[in-house]
Structure 1
Amino acid sequence: MEADSISERFAESLRGKTADELQLMALTSPAVHFACFVTIRDKNNEVIIPVPNVLQLRMSEAYETMWAMKVKIRIIATKPRRAGCSTFGTHIVYHHGMRRPIEGIAISDVKEHSTEMLDKIKAYSRVDSFPWGHAVIKDPNQSIAWDNGTKWTVDSAENPDAGVGGTRQCGFFSEVSKWPQTATRNDKKTMAAVLPSLSGSETVAIAESTPERAAGWQYTTWQEAVTLDQFIAMHEAGICPEEVWVKVFAAWFEFADNRRANPVQEAEIDQIRRTLTERERNGIEKYGWDWEQVAWRREIIKSVCNGDEKIFDFYYPEDEVSCWLAGGTPRFDLGRITEMENIARGATFDTGYLVTQDNTKVSFQPVRDGSGDIYVWEPPKTGLRYIVTCDPAEDITQTIGMDPDANSVSVWRAAYHDQLHDRWRPAKKVARLRPPFRGLGEDVAGHVARLSKWYGLAMVSLEVNKGMDILRLLQTAGIPIYKRRPFSPRIGQVVEQYGFKMGDKEERNALIEGFASAIRNGDVEVLDLHALAEYKMFIVNHKGRAEAAPGAHDDDVIADAIAWETLPSAHEFKMMVAKHVDPPDRHTWRNVTGKW
């Protein structure tokens, strides 16, 4: 729904109403209650009667609609900076607790913000002029309760046990994308602990955040969420899942105050026209930005965003897709990764086991229940070239603990020209060992050997900074190993050595840069969601080093980068045809049928 239409419709619904009529409307509408019965402090810290903005109205509309449909209310909001989303989300759950007795929990990213949420809930209770008839009662610290049975507990995502246990009917989760990301404290673990505590058919959960990064609970849930119109259509069609998240978004230009307060004069309009960027032209043509909005955007980029358009996109997203690509400092092209991720969600792959038969050949046995230890997107094909890549875990101490390192084993197919369809097929990751795999070296070597044999005794590119035991096992099994020719300072000449090895920081940077270019240029196709998730969380830190973000892994990143680097050495797959061999005593046989 357009911003102007929802605002106009809301204003029209209040026009000419009596006090009793407004009171009746406010009983079921958080937006009406917000606009008519409470006061807040604005950006200038002045007490005002609030006018709900477009994002707040959309949140209220989703809540009211789902409540009327008698379904579980699950709302996820993605917001621009200073959009009043947390203020209004807190108001919705406060309003809900006044209507009926509930046990509620609110969780924010850090303790200070959690305290602010508790203060907002208390403030609404103090300034609320609606005749609920509920009095605040004394309760322990970090909670607030009323004599109607409603109680709110506030916690922080910094607490690893936040939300654990209890039975609740309402939850509000603020700035979820900013929650800690460590092995013991992260958004997915916290949500997995708290959401099951929302029991009953009339529960409410509201999650909101700025689009911090294209990963984590907020991002994943947003991708699977539906719009309110889609939700209504699903129910009208008889599709009624137990729990569906409805997404709410508002772009920066939909807010009335995100524009130059004074009209832009003709002379400045001429100057803006002469200097329009491609992004500005797109905004004018696609979204109808006016000159006051363009001028405001330029001023914010200059004064608040250090002249960086990407920082503006992070603070003030213009659509619900690209907003996720602005957060953080990703090393790889998130636009291209998102494209592959969307394709991967709709792609199918086989799962199963590789089995060594009595004739020493390896066959793939698929299973239909999703089990199996091998994923296959593309089986071996005659005439194409394949390479197996392996990035082993550090050692046995790295495969235990809360969030251990894992072994990454994959098969890559080199690019080729598809003559049947007359098109160029990029290099592709065609199979992998089911992640995460934390077996011992002999188990890793076994999987690598079987994959190599199934793909025509494909060469193995093994990272030997930490895989010497696996190297020895593969050599014993007769598996071809990638060789390199580094310069040896000890003997002063180039030598031939087995395996892939990053000698120093420069070699690592070159490896990552090569793979980054391949992703950016569309030279690789990856339908592996586990690997794509790692790509998105591979960042450049404040020291300029490319590495996995805190709480994330880079096992697949390094393995796939090695695959791209060594792919020119891939072996061509040829179908092995069993040669007919006569029995040893063939010369003694007699022809008794006369047909030989």
Structure 2
Amino acid sequence: MTTEPEIVTRFRTMLDEASEDDLTALAYNSPAVHFALFMEIKDKNGRYIRPEPNVLQLRVSEVIETLRVRCPGTRIRIIGVKPRRAGLSTFSLHCGYHEAQRRTIEGITIADCKENSAMLTERLADYSGHDSFPWDNPLVQDATGTKAWANGSKWTVDTAENPDAGVGGTRQFGHMSEVSKYPQTEKKNDRKTITAAMPSFDGDDTVVIAESTPENAAGWFYDTFNEGMWLDDFLRRYEEGFRPEEVWIKVFAAWHEFADYRRKEPVSEIERGYIDETLTEIEREGRAKYGWTYEQLAWRRDTIDSQCDKDPRIFAFYYPSDPVSCWIAGGTPRFDMERLLQMEERAKIITPDLGFLIRQHDNVVSFSPQHDGSGDIEIYEHPVPGMKYGLVLDPAESLSQTVGADPDANSLGVWRGAYQDEAMDVWRPMKLVARLKAPFRGEEDDVADHAIRLSRYYGTCIAAQEVNKGFHILRRLQLAGIPCYKRKPLNNRTGKVEEQYGFKMTDANTREALVSSLASALVNGDLDIPCEHMIGEMKKFIRNAKGKSVGALGYHDDDVIHAAIAWEVIPSSATEYRVVKIKNVEPKDRGPHGWKARSWG
């Protein structure tokens, strides 16, 4: 049987055991206590009720209260992923309202659209009208149209549809609502909106809460949540002496932790039997891992049928069980998100060897490891005799030809072919074993030098270069004696098949076919990619409204095309690595008793 979250039990016990004077003091410092004892809010039927904070709201309040006591002066940054109707927007705004009553501040809420902006503005006024705490701080008229109180606190509600939302000024509290739903255009998107607003919260005693449902696995909200820290991890690091200027604390609650997400009436014996007979794999796992009750299972099935188009993946998006699966159904990712997330989890625990490749005599290349982070080559697996390797290069435009603040990068790496591991009796898929550290935006000669050294290190392996650009690099590879991949296209002029150097995408159909083939390889587990940067690009590679496979707005696809080319050419073209034995050859001018004297006469 699912038990009540421990934080809910603790909160209820604290309220029951505290004296009236203690409760007033607690409400002054705790948004959750104030919310529970002194506020009235509208329920879904439009009636004013005294709310009982849910598990997600309590976790937000816990972060604020804990950091102020245990980490004084820390800038409080909270990022929360919420299920549908979890009340996180309501409570985040309340946290700002609560702070505006405690002291004089300036705050802002940036909503995703004008309709929600208007609703939140109205809700702020509603809070003041239905708050029984003795603040003695009524709303006052303000000529600028912002909400203002007698103590001097002011609050602005804006929308992300405004490109200048939150720009300028000095504030102490920020509420970014439904961030994943912010407009996503070249001029207006979540990353630009948030990064433009954040400099206004530069004081020590500042709070910013960003919350949203998980719309897709791309953008500022997704990246920041995954890069953030859980409260316990942050506190542990803080006690060890970790003092970052700004860290986002992650807040999450699974759907089964909410008291409302279950059938109100007990499930009958007949329906229990039916549920037992028809359990899905996800339901079995939920029972074993989380103790889902019959009432929760019945509610989940009802919700999938009535609200999620009978699709359990959509339910996982709107009502997540964990902070990973919620991203899987969001948006329209081009590749299987579940597979990518699995690869990413493995990649996070892998530390590649970082260093430089050094050219020795006779074209021998050795690896010089660096432990200070200064290397430019990442190696996940050093060359092994008998294995087959191939180098893949998707070059960017030369720096001298590049225009713009965020140009494409060169994607260069070595792949090991798939093989049967006889010792372990297991099939090892094709693997990225080394790469030029990403992103690399160097000149063509620098790219060529790296490619030559990488090829040499893996036995002068074959190089497959995308040749829509970068012809100088290809020429350098040829002059260095690196075997180069050849394609065999039909010459429309002669009607004959002719060999041509390099890999070439001739049109959009060729590109889409490559991407589709890569997508299938990922689903089937045919690729082992230990590089977080490459996986990150794949996660942000989407099918847009026109059906075209592209990088999401603001993201690149250099590594994606690299991997697609690799899957196309490496299985059939990789070359075997063999140890080259260098023989000691006596110089021609060396005699039996030492070096011959050179005659100058």
Tell me whether 1:374 sits opposite 2:377 in the alignment.
yes
Give the whole-Å Cα distance in 2 for the aligned partners of 1:369 and 1:143. 51
Partner of 2:42: 41
For residue 576 of structure 1, the aligned residue among 564, 580, 585 is 580
TM-score (normalizing by structure 2): 0.88
Give the whole-Å Cα distance in 2 for the aligned partners of 1:127 and 1:591. 101
Partner of 2:208: 205
Partner secondary structure for residue 258 of structure 1: coil
Deviation, structure 1 residue 314 = 0.9
Contact 2:218 2:552 in 1 (8 A): no
Give the whole-Å Cα distance in 1 for the aligned partners of 2:441 and 2:241. 44
Deviation, structure 1 residue 95 = 0.4
The residue identity in structure 2 corresponding to 1:376 is I
Partner of 1:179: 182
For residue 530 of structure 1, the aligned residue among 527, 530, 533 is 533
TM-score (normalizing by structure 1): 0.88
The residue identity in structure 2 corresponding to 1:34 is F
Structure 1 unmatched ranges of 5 or more = none
Partner of 1:428: 431
Contact 1:142 1:155 in 2 (8 A): no
Give the whole-Å Cα distance in 2 for the aligned partners of 1:268 and 1:574. 65
Tell me whether 1:51 sits opposite 2:55 in the alignment.
no
The residue identity in structure 1 corresponding to 2:317 is F
Partner secondary structure for residue 76 of structure 1: strand
Deviation, structure 1 residue 574 = 2.6
Give the whole-Å Cα distance in 2 for the aligned partners of 1:421 and 1:191. 50
Contact 2:216 2:332 in 1 (8 A): no
Deviation, structure 1 residue 591 = 11
Deviation, structure 1 residue 383 = 2.9
Q: 1:384 to 1:174 in 2, by over 3 A?
A: same
Partner of 2:599: none
Partner secondary structure for residue 302 of structure 1: helix
Q: 1:383 to 1:140 in 2, by over 3 A?
A: farther
Partner of 1:470: 473
Give the whole-Å Cα distance in 2 for the aligned partners of 1:417 and 1:85. 51
| Greater alpha carbon shift after TM alignment, 17-26 vs 514-523 | 17-26
Partner secondary structure for residue 95 of structure 1: helix
Partner secondary structure for residue 107 of structure 2: strand
Aligned length: 592
Contact 1:37 1:130 in 2 (8 A): yes
Q: 1:138 to 1:48 in 2, by over 3 A?
A: same
Contact 1:183 1:402 in 2 (8 A): no
Deviation, structure 1 residue 444 = 3.1
Which whole-Å deviations, capped at 9, do the CAs of 1:109-141 have from their partners, x for residues lacking one?
334434433333233223322221223344454
Contact 1:456 1:572 in 2 (8 A): yes
Give the whole-Å Cα distance in 2 for the aligned partners of 1:236 and 1:131. 37
Contact 1:514 1:561 in 2 (8 A): yes
| Greater alpha carbon shift after TM alignment, 137-146 vs 229-238 | 229-238
Give the whole-Å Cα distance in 1 for the aligned partners of 2:214 and 2:469. 37
Alignment of 1:128-207 (within 5 A): 128-139=131-142, 141=144, 143-181=146-184, 185-207=188-210
Alignment of 1:271-286 (within 5 A): 271-286=274-289
The residue identity in structure 2 corresponding to 1:36 is L
Partner secondary structure for residue 117 of structure 1: helix
Deviation, structure 1 residue 505 = 4.8
Contact 2:313 2:328 in 1 (8 A): no
Deviation, structure 1 residue 534 = 0.4
Q: 1:330 to 1:97 in 2, by over 3 A?
A: same
Partner of 2:452: 449
Deviation, structure 1 residue 410 = 1.4
Partner secondary structure for residue 478 of structure 1: coil
Q: 1:105 to 1:285 in 2, by over 3 A?
A: same
| Greater alpha carbon shift after TM alignment, 256-265 vs 31-40 | 256-265
Deviation, structure 1 residue 411 = 1.5
The residue identity in structure 2 corresponding to 1:575 is V
Q: 1:106 to 1:591 in 2, by over 3 A?
A: closer
Tell me whether 1:385 sits opposite 2:384 in the alignment.
no
Partner of 1:83: 86
Partner of 1:515: 518
The residue identity in structure 2 corresponding to 1:96 is E
Partner of 2:564: 561
Partner secondary structure for residue 580 of structure 2: coil
Over the matched positions of the two proteins, sequence identity in percent amounts to 54
Give the whole-Å Cα distance in 2 for the aligned partners of 1:181 and 1:342. 27
Contact 1:485 1:494 in 2 (8 A): yes
Deviation, structure 1 residue 192 = 4.2
Partner of 1:119: 122
The residue identity in structure 1 corresponding to 2:254 is A
Partner of 2:24: 23
Alignment of 1:287-302 (within 5 A): 287-302=290-305
For residue 415 of structure 2, the aligned residue among 404, 412, 415 is 412
Q: 1:37 to 1:435 in 2, by over 3 A?
A: same
